[in-house]
Structure 1
Amino acid sequence: MNNIKINDLKYFVAACIGILLYSCVPTQKVREENKTVPKTYANNNVDTLNTAKTNWKNFFSDINLISLIDTALVNNQEMNIMLLKVDMFKNKIKAKKGEYLPFVNFYGGAETEKVGAYTRNGSVEEQLKIDDEEFPDPLSNYSLGISASWELDIWKKLRNEKKAAVFEYLSSVEGKKFMTTNLVAEIADTYYELLALDNQLDIVNQNLEIQKNALKIVKLQKQAAKTTELAVRRFKAEVLKNQSEKLEIEQQIVVTENKINFLIGKTPQKVTRKSDDFLATAIDSIYEGVPSQLLQNRPDIRKAEYELAAAKLNTKVARANFYPSFGIKAGVGLESFKTKFLTNTSESLAYSLVGDFVGPLINKNAIKAAYKNANDMQLQSIFEYEKTILSAYIEVSNELSNIKNLKNIYDLKEQEVDALTESIQLSTRLFKAARADYLEVLLTQREALDAKIELVETKKEQLMANVAVYKSLGGGWN
């Protein structure tokens, strides 16, 4: 009867400890992420045809630009660093996978021990003999065998760590894709910047020729007493001003070329390009599809999604730390104080089997803090995910509006350039006939130069806007 009561008491105590451990585990609810986006953009287009699906080699038509991007994807240092980071996350999966499998090790050892004769161990050794031989003094010990240990993953802590590592790896892959998208866009933008500078340099050179001819005319008119030295000085100053602008553009060309060389991993050298037909470059149509496609096409959104998934699993891992861990340890081998006895398997055989569990009971502040941090990081990942989705939608909306407005701006600038180009010829004829002041000629030339440069800038902005929409839709990495 007493034995039954004792056993009942043991079960009752064990049950109380289990309930106590479970009740001490805190819970913290974190809201679900909001991934809703509007059904359409501002133009209310519901067509799912999306330019983001276009391979970047098909999106760009300039063979020189395609060659530069190809080179950058192989040689760019930041890209290669990112590839190594992806590989490290992949290795982390293997490490985490191995943690919930048994660890098996082999061991071998030799040691020597001398104990005092008037100790318990010493007095025992004096009495004992093996094969009529006294214990050696000092006593040696030789061992050889294998050992194994295994943590039973009852609470799925180790498996969740491995799954979290998988999501972190997938996040790094999406990060690499996002870097590819940014690299493709940056090279394209810089390349168009270079073409625009080439055209601006041509415009300044053409304007310089016009102004030098005008300066000759003014000098002749001064000799004929039809104008003054002031007009000569003003025309000469305008020529000098354009010469300095020419030097500034040439310096910008050097810097822009070197930026491209840096992106493609090469030392400064001439960048192959064709700038002659820059203003005639066609602006391809963009198909934006529907906003929901951003969730699949944008690498940064998918990266944030995988980071959120990893954060959720890390929260489960942190919560599992409140529960006891169960482990099994086992070993088998040979052990003897003389090497010759190691061959006597039955006598030298040694083995062990241990099962244990360990769980936190008092002073769990560190575990509680880690769990709260994991929850906070999960909530932070939710905000990051939602922010990335919202930012992507606004990005696309802005760029679609930009493309539309730039088209109208370019048409107006083109008309302005045509009108001012005609004005240059007209003002020069009037000046020769003494029917226009030299200031009118100078102002017309300056306005025409500015308008032509602005036209080139607008064309560059149009091309960059197309690249920006392609990038914001999630294109450029595939």
Structure 2
Amino acid sequence: MKNRIHFTLALALLLANAGGCALNTELSIPEKKIPANYPDQKNAATIANINWRHYFDDPQLIRLIDTAVANNVDLQMALQRIEVARSSVKLANGTLLPKVDLSVGGGVQKFGLYTMDGAGNASTYITPGRIVPENLTDIYLGLQASWEVDVWGKLRYQRKSAISNYLSSIEGTHFVISNLVAEVAVHYNELLALDNALDIIRQTLQKQQEALEVIKVQKEAGRANELAVQQFNAQLLNTKVLETQALQQIIETENRINFLLGRYPQPIARNKEMLFQAVPEQIAAGLPSQLLANRPDVRAAEYQIEASKFDVKAAKAAFFPNFTITGALGFQAFNPEFLFQSPASLAYSLMGTLVTPLINRNALKAQFNTAQANQLTAMYNYQNTILKAYVEVANTLSNIRTLQKVHSLKEQQSRVLKKSVEASGELYKTARATYLEVLIAQQSALQANLELIEAIKRQRLSTITIYKALGGGWK
């Protein structure tokens, strides 16, 4: 009998080892080497290391970002995800330790007389002169313990996976902060651009109103006809439409900022002149390799790889036998008055159990294959995150250079068209230009000025985009 038990145990261990050792936990994918430099960038210095309170030099914008970081709902949810991950680490730590419970219980049981237990109890004295009661109570007070001995490291791997997921959640929160800071700054600068566009529209309205009054006077003097009056009036009405649309866009942009700040709509304090602050001609982008340390999404993806590696190893360890020790120590009696009469009422038990999977190992294989697929997915996601980050930086750097040229050209165009408006007005007064030429000059000047504001806004937004793309905004 003893030899049969030893044979069964040895066979179980042999099958478990044979199945577990055949599983590959060292996975890899083709490596994509990150470029050494960005195009036209050789400096190792990077703006990503600048705190956002120093990167943005607008006190009103800084106050808005501070409020957003304190109250934004998405950020609060990200912080709660950190708490969930932290609790998972504590849970994983707990599985490594013995589980000890205090047990208090009681019950009553009656055996049939014509049974082995009933017949035995009826003829047995539990104390001198007193047989076992027919209705037998059972009272227990003591400690119960169980401990899964982590022989193969499964529980330790699960703990390491939980720690990696926790660190990933922290980096994920940093990424939320970085996006939040950038988003508030973007909408704030859009608001400044709308304010300045509204000023241009209203200045144009005033000039168009004056031109309309002039054309009406000229009509009365016989120097212009009703068609000219209607054309000037139509242009005036079209500009009023632009004014109405700009006012609506301002309201919506203010509301978007308030939403990011976690509050209901209210006016946003700002200084519209801040839009015209000079932006740096050269952006210190650093080296592409610095993205691995500065971008929170890249770091989060890296921790996800670590977590998936430990999950694979834990899934492999599940093929090996589990060794569990259980025990109990306490007092047990049929009557409370005998409960603490040691050693007669002392009860204890100790057992070691070795369990190895034999049948339905396909479920463990499916679990292991899933863990492998998750690890490969995490590796590809890491590569994709780095590639996405590099492309984002490269595109933004190129866009910054392009916008510098666009800004310069739009400034020249605006100056030229301003002169054309003045010239067309003077020529019209001396009958050397038609009213259509005046209308075209005014419309072109308005469009050019609005496009100049748009170019300035896009240039400022590009400095925000590159700051976030390089990994700034969360420190």
Q: Give the TM-score band, short-chain normalised.
A: over 0.9
1:373 corresponds in structure 2 to: 370
Structure 1 counterpart of 2:91, from 83, 88, 95: 95
Offset, 1:118: 1.3
1:79 corresponds in structure 2 to: 75
1:295 corresponds in structure 2 to: 292
2:381 corresponds in structure 1 to: 384
Structure 2 counterpart of 1:353, from 341, 350, 359: 350
Q: 1:303 to 1:109 in 2, by over 3 A?
A: same
> What are the superposed Cα offsets for residues 257-301 of structure 1, whole Å, 9 maximum, x if unpaired?
011111111111110000035234444642001100000000000
Counterpart AA for 1:293: Q
1:59 corresponds in structure 2 to: 55
Give the Cα separation in 2 of the matches to 1:92 and 1:33. Answer: 32
Give the Cα separation in 1 of the matches to 2:211 and 2:408. Answer: 30
1:258 corresponds in structure 2 to: 255
TM-score under structure 1 normalisation? 0.96
Verify the 8 A CA contact 2:198 2:243 in the aligned structure 1.
Answer: yes
Verify the 8 A CA contact 1:279 1:456 in the aligned structure 2.
Answer: no
Offset, 1:199: 0.5
1:171 corresponds in structure 2 to: 168
Verify the 8 A CA contact 1:181 1:476 in the aligned structure 2.
Answer: yes
Give the Cα separation in 1 of the matches to 2:157 and 2:47. Answer: 38
| Correspondence 1:316 to 2:317 | no
Offset, 1:34: 3.0
Verify the 8 A CA contact 2:64 2:261 in the aligned structure 1.
Answer: yes
Give the Cα separation in 2 of the matches to 1:290 and 1:389. Answer: 13
TM-score under structure 2 normalisation? 0.97
After TM superposition, the structure 1 stretch with the greater mean CA deviation from structure 2, 130-139 or 292-301, is 130-139
Counterpart AA for 1:410: H
Verify the 8 A CA contact 2:193 2:457 in the aligned structure 1.
Answer: yes
2:226 corresponds in structure 1 to: 229
Q: State how 1:12-411 maps to structure 2 within 5 Å.
A: 14-25=9-20, 26-28=22-24, 30-32=27-29, 34=31, 36-43=33-40, 45-129=41-125, 130-283=127-280, 285-411=282-408
SS at match of 2:182: helix
Give the Cα separation in 1 of the matches to 2:15 and 2:237. Answer: 89
Verify the 8 A CA contact 2:12 2:356 in the aligned structure 1.
Answer: no
Offset, 1:16: 4.4
1:463 corresponds in structure 2 to: 460
After TM superposition, the structure 1 stretch with the greater mean CA deviation from structure 2, 221-230 or 21-30, is 21-30
Counterpart AA for 1:402: N
Offset, 1:18: 2.6
Offset, 1:32: 4.7
> What are the superposed Cα offsets for residues 303-348 of structure 1, whole Å, 9 maximum, x if unpaired?
0000111011111111111111000011111111111111211111
| Correspondence 1:472 to 2:439 | no
Verify the 8 A CA contact 1:298 1:475 in the aligned structure 2.
Answer: yes
Give the Cα separation in 2 of the matches to 1:164 and 1:143. Answer: 40
SS at match of 1:111: strand
Give the Cα separation in 2 of the matches to 1:52 and 1:274. Answer: 26
Verify the 8 A CA contact 2:320 2:357 in the aligned structure 1.
Answer: yes
> What are the superposed Cα offsets for residues 442-478 of structure 1, whole Å, 9 maximum, x if unpaired?
0111110000000000111011100000000000000
SS at match of 1:362: coil
Counterpart AA for 1:18: L
Give the Cα separation in 2 of the matches to 1:230 and 1:13. Answer: 107
Verify the 8 A CA contact 2:192 2:274 in the aligned structure 1.
Answer: no
> What are the superposed Cα offsets for residues 72-115 of structure 1, whole Å, 9 maximum, x if unpaired?
00011111111111111111111110001000111111110111
CA RMSD of aligned residues (A): 1.6
SS at match of 2:339: helix
Give the Cα separation in 1 of the matches to 2:420 and 2:43. Answer: 46
- Percent same amino acid at aligned positions? 42
SS at match of 2:323: strand
Give the Cα separation in 2 of the matches to 1:33 and 1:53. Answer: 31
Give the Cα separation in 2 of the matches to 1:321 and 1:449. Answer: 72
Give the Cα separation in 2 of the matches to 1:158 and 1:417. Answer: 70
> What are the superposed Cα offsets for residues 396-439 of structure 1, whole Å, 9 maximum, x if unpaired?
00000000110010000000000000110000000111100111
> What are the superposed Cα offsets for residues 167-195 of structure 1, whole Å, 9 maximum, x if unpaired?
00100000000000000000000000000
Verify the 8 A CA contact 1:33 1:382 in the aligned structure 2.
Answer: no
Counterpart AA for 1:54: I
SS at match of 1:24: helix
SS at match of 1:381: helix
Verify the 8 A CA contact 2:100 2:145 in the aligned structure 1.
Answer: yes
Q: 5+ unaligned residues in a row in structure 1: which ranges? A: none
